[in-house]
Structure formats: structure tokens, C-alpha cells
Structure 1
Amino acid sequence: MHSRLTLIFALCAIVAGSAHAQDAWERGFIRKGMQEGEVLQRIGPPDHESRVSGPNADVEVKTWTYFPARRDPQTLSIFTLKGGVVVEIDRKISR
């Protein structure tokens, strides 16, 4: 029984790791005009999020930052979303 649980946990870790790696590779395919939900579906939640809004803000602006990862090891990806739509993409080499 113990070996079965170990095998199940190992398989779950492999699947989760490969999904995260695929997400990192997909970062290069995010384009202006994509909806927030599509970005989340393709590459998952950001490593860091900042929001710019206030009492007089017409539309919420979010900046999502994705740190370098195994399948995108040297690239810092920053996406700016305005009203739930990608309006700016900044991908920088990070060493």
C-alpha cells in the first residue's frame, strides 16, 4: 500500500512539473488583445501581480510578472492588462 501511494505522488509531481514547464514555454505566444482568462488558461497565474486602480479609475490595470522558469530560463515576462485585455508585453533577458 505504501509503495502505491509513493507511486501516485510521484506521478502527480511529474504531471504537475510538465504542465508548469509547458506553461513557461507558452509565454512567448501571448499576444496583445488576448483576454485575461485565455492568458491564465495558457500560462497559469502570475508569479507577481500589481494593480493600479483608484476611486477615479475608469478601468483596472494589472501588471502580471512571470519569473524565468525551466522552459523559459532566461526570460522575465511582464504583461500589462487593461480591463481584462493584454495591452502591453515586455519580455526581457534576465541573467
Structure 2
Amino acid sequence: MSCIRLFSALVLLMASASLLAADAGERKFIRKGMAEGEVLHKIGKPDHEAFIRAVKGQPEEKSWTYFPHPRDAQTLTIITFHAGTVSSVDRKISR
């Protein structure tokens, strides 16, 4: 009986986590100067992350890519960060 309760609790936890997931429709509101943590909070983890420059003692540069999503259909969003803040947002139509 405890196995069934554990399984039920796990399913409920997974369902609630998906409800709390970031809204892909918010991607169009990401602006230059936003902090990395704020972007993560608004739209969630990226589908792909690439480091452009990661040299010890220098500001880190990286890009986050978000693939098209049903709530942001046909739009590929690439966000570039410099020293933890958004330096550019590129939204492209992808078919």
C-alpha cells in the first residue's frame, strides 16, 4: 500500500512541477540588460547552452537557445549573455 502512495505522490509532484514551469510565451519580453537569473525565472532552462568565451579572469560570454514551443510556435530564441546580463536577444522564425 505504501508503494502506491509513494507512486501517487511522485505523479502529483511531477504534475505540479509542470504547472509551475516557465511560460514560453514570455520569451518575447526578454530585454537587453536583464540578469541571467531573471531570464531563468521568466522562461526556464534553455534547450541548449553554448560558451562563447570562458577565460579565467575575464567576463564570461555564453548563449542560450530556446527551440520553438507550442506557446511560441515557429520562433527560435537565442539570448546572449555577457558577464551575467543579457547583451542581445535574437528571435528567428524557423519552419
TM-score range for the pair, normalised by the shorter chain length: 0.7 to 0.9
Identity of aligned pairs, percent? Answer: 51
Q: Distance in 2 between matches of 1:70 and 1:19?
A: 17
Unaligned runs of 5+ in 2: none
Partner of 2:34: 34
Residues 19/94 of structure 1: CA separation in 2 closer, same or farther (3 Å cut) = farther
Deviation, 1:55, is 4.0
1 or 2, which has the higher helix percentage? 1
**TM-score of the superposed pair, with normalisation by structure 2:** 0.78
Q: Distance in 2 between matches of 1:9 and 1:25?
A: 28
Q: CA RMSD in A?
A: 2.4
Question: How many residues were matched structurally?
Answer: 94
Q: Distance in 1 between matches of 2:13 and 2:71?
A: 19
**TM-score of the superposed pair, with normalisation by structure 1:** 0.78
Unaligned runs of 5+ in 1: none
